[in-house]
Amino acid sequence: MKRTSLLILAALAFFLVGILAFPALVTLLTDWWWFKAVGFQTVFAKTLTWKFLVGVSGGLVAFGFFYSNLRFAQRGAVPDPIVVNINSRTSNVDITRGLRVMGLPLSIVLALLVSGTVATGWLDILQYIHGTDFGVQDPVFGRDVGYYIFRLPAIAGAVRFVQALSVVSLFMVVLLYVMRGDIVALRNRVTIEPSAQTHLGVLVALVFLAGSVSTYFVHIPSLVYSTTADFVGASHADLSARLPGLRVVGVVGVLCAAWVLLGARKHTLTRNLTAAVIAYVAVSAVGGSLVPAAVQRLIVLPNELARERPQIINHLEATRRAWKLDNVEIRDLGDASPLTMRDIEANQGTIRNVRLWDREQILQTFGQLQEIRTYYDFRSVDDDRYWINGEYRQVLLSPRELNTSALSTRTFINERLTFTHGMGLTLSPVNQVTPEGLPHLFVQDLPPASNVSLDITRPEIYYGELSNDFVFVGTGQPEFDYPVGLGDSSAFTSYEGLGGVEVGGFWQKALLSMRFGSLKILLSQDIVRGSRVQYHRNVMQRAEKALPFLSWDGDPYMVITDDGRLKWLIDAYTVSARYPYAARQDGINYMRNSVKVVIDAYDGDVKAYLSDAEDPIALTMAKIFPEILRPLSEMPEDLRAHIRYPSDFFRAQTAMYAWYHVDQPDVFYQTEDQWQFPTQSAQDVSSDPFLRHIIMKLPGEATEEFIVMTPFTPKGKHNLTAWMVARNDGDRYGQLLVYRFPRQSLVFGPQQVVDRINQNTEVSRQVTLWDQAGSQVKRGNLLVIPIEASLVYVQPLYLQAEGGRIPELKRVIVAYENQVVMEETLEEALSVLFRGTVSEDIPTPLVPSMPTATASIELDVTVGDLVLRASDHYDRALNAQRSGDWATYGHEIQQVGDLLRRIRDLSGTNSSENQ
């Protein structure tokens, strides 16, 4: 009967565990389908296998340790029953038998807890096995940096594991011995039964030994992360006092373990243990804290620079290596000659790509002009560059994604089967505007139409920044593609790709129904065998799930490939907080942009490319997960042309370089030459509003290129001292350059330029007039444009009607040295500044008209060029007329008219000059 009851209880427990675990198993199985569909099943299988192996191994060791100690502590009969009195109204309860029975379940529970904790260290173990050397040794112990990044974490984890088992077991057996009466306190004296003394002595000795191992193999190597001084790394006090003190502490720990074991053998455990604890604490306090503190205060501080100079050198070198700042090329700019119109003409590629549209302003404008329907949304705007009609142009583009929360009728069919994808994108050059002050669109409308040499053949966006809910495609329900005409007509489509997990029979539908918590999946007759379910559609979450060992840039961006497909590019990082002697930022002290991830917006296909083949962390991950990281050479050329140096990485590097550009320890210690990011207001001191991607011709270079740059000012000053560049194109990708201004000359910084703009009477008058006329003037970002050895500042002004949501570009302010001008176009402002022509008074109407269709400067344009452009626009207008696209037809005819007016003006100018 007793055995039957136990079997019933076991069956009930098994059933209960199964019920609780079943949802997790469903999630696990459907995740396996997802990983297999994207080709990353190696990541899933290896992660799961090693978590299981490490967790089970740790749990079994913990169970064996706990249970054996509890069983040993319960040996022999208890002389007196162990009773517990709950309260004065109840009789005593004999728990003697219960204690013996509870040993097994208690050990199991504790082992499960330990197993879950230990399983999280699976990656540390794999990195220990596959760790790649850095080829750089730390300056204190002479170990390769790879030891600290790949091996030390696993060693520390193993030591913590032994310490935890020892301490928990010691606590349990002491409690048990007290309850059994083997430990008794009589007359201020503790008496311990002899066999209990032996048991406790072994456990206490193990605690001391584990502490000694931790001191030698964890604490001493970790001195390379010390912050005793005002820098990261072992200081003079650490090396001269704390290091010898820790070595002594380690030896004392071993001696204390031996002393405790001797006390247990001679039945003097209490006395020996007391002496050991006092000795260990005293030596730890003196050798590990008091002596190093005294050395720091009495020996180091009075002559700190001389004492710490070697350590500061180590810190500077390690920090620059860890943040990839050890190969920065420094170029000194000579005294700048005054810019002339000839210099402007020689830098047309830079001027033509000055970004007059801020992301915030153009995002609002795209939303108002190109969302078309309420269920479409533009989430972000990205910078990129394309060869367009033979010119290297910087553009702003924003994908048009589907926002299902904005659907007027949110049913299962609408959200999961019908409205499944976004449609195309809107793309605009960074500097061109229409006569109304709106962005000139290269790609627009639904389906996306292009009036330049960019064609989109697969515009559907099933995977994006907004796409996150699961959808079913290839079902019996037609998918909405895009609206047609002015009414409620719509175009429909059927998915033709291989994205997602193929739906099989009844049981797979049942599991998917459980995974997504919707019975309608199981009951729907539209979801048939061969349909596909797409989930984890958000590109950031998709990348993070496929590659969980990487850190991620916050700005994925979309690229149009040569064959017209839309693909997402995401930058991924390998990071660490364990690089010896290196300074930390946001909790890490090592960072590399080692991986570029490409996700197809239609198929959801994920491909990861190793962009830094010299990064030991990335190489280690490639060993752990073989065939996951492809060589960058395998990335298609049309995608490689669009990889960019990520802003997050560049921002972190420049923040470090502002402090660590100095290589002299004396200068660093005395903080004589610190830099900072410029600010436009006293409140904005932590961000870098001037960091941006731009196409420009660097000083001394022959052609324009796509770069990311930021300027620097001296700490606490507003004048510029240097600007830093990361190159993006071709074989020069990743090169870091710093251009330094002469120390003896004053170069105005952004705050000083903003002050001069605000003091300009013409600017102030016009802004005041607009603000009083029911409109709001919005100032764009102040742009720092390097030209030759000088800087030109450009700031766009936008006008937005009160209550309106469409900002219009109405003025461009250009500042150079002491001069500030504001004109309707960048071309006019530069002409006034560098040709010396006198501009007419700025017109005062609320919404002035723009004289040309473009704000880009075209200094060498000829009548023949304009005739060819007019002919191209006229041909596009005829094609649009034939297809019934009257919006494009009107736009193209307007372009023809603008170009004809320019031809007339240019012809008249040439005639007058000839006369």
pLDDT one-digit tens code per residue, 143-165 = 999 999 999 999 999 999 999 99
Residue 257 to residue 259: CA distance in whole angstroms? 5
Please give the full DSSP string across 804-830, using - where no structure is assigned.
----EEEEEEEEETTEEEEESSHHHHH
pLDDT of residue 853: 33
Least confident of 312-316, 658-662, 750-754, 858-862: 858-862
Who contacts 468 (Cβ-Cβ below 8 Å, separation ≥6)? 537, 538, 541
Q: Position 744: which residue type?
A: Q
Residue 902 reports pLDDT greater than 80: no
Residue of 193, 188, 153, 150 lying closest to 174 (CA atoms): 193
Residue 859 reports pLDDT greater than 50: no
Residue 592 reports pLDDT greater than 80: yes
Q: Position 260: which residue type?
A: V
Report residue 845's pLDDT band, with 50, 70 and 90 as the boundaries.
very low
Residue 522 reports pLDDT greater than 60: yes
Name the residue with higher pLDDT: 222 or 678.
Answer: 222
Give the pLDDT mean for 296-313: 92
pLDDT of residue 856: 37
Q: Position 699: which residue type?
A: P
Q: What angle do CA 745, 654, 819 make, to 5 degrees?
A: 35
Residue 634 to residue 129: CA distance in whole angstroms? 28
Least confident of 531-535, 661-665, 889-893: 889-893
pLDDT cut 90: percent of the chain above it: 56
Q: What angle do CA 39, 43, 46 make, to 5 degrees?
A: 130
Q: Where are the beta strands (DSSP E) in 476-534?
A: 479-483, 490-493, 501-502, 532-534
Q: Are 846 and 857 in contact (CB under 8 A)?
A: no
Query: pLDDT digits over 46-79, tens only?
Result: 999 999 999 999 999 999 999 999 888 887 655 5
Name the residue with higher pLDDT: 171 or 837.
Answer: 171
Q: What angle do CA 412, 413, 417 make, to 5 degrees?
A: 115
Average pLDDT, the chain: 86
Query: pLDDT digits over 727-745, tens only?
Result: 999 899 999 999 998 887 7
Q: For residue 588, what are the β-bridge partners?
A: 585
Q: What angle do CA 335, 338, 340 make, to 5 degrees?
A: 140
Residue 468 reports pLDDT greater than 90: no
CA dihedral 572, 574, 576, 581 (to 10 degrees): -110
pLDDT cut 70: percent of the chain above it: 87
Report residue 780's pLDDT band, with 50, 70 and 90 as the boundaries.
confident
Residue 184 to residue 260: CA distance in whole angstroms? 19
Across 200-222, b (16+ Cβ under 10 Å) vs e yields: bbbbbbbbbbbbbbbbbbbbbbb
Report residue 684's pLDDT band, with 50, 70 and 90 as the boundaries.
very low
Cα dist. 700→70, 334, 859 in Å? 78, 12, 22
pTM, to two decimals:
0.85
Residue 198 to residue 269: CA distance in whole angstroms? 8
Q: Position 709: which residue type?
A: M
Residue 181 to residue 880: CA distance in whole angstroms? 98
Residue of 350, 389, 348 lying closest to 868 (CA atoms): 389
Query: pLDDT digits over 236-252, tens only?
Result: 999 999 999 999 999 99
Count the neighbouring beta carbons within 10 Å of the beta carbon of residue 167.
14
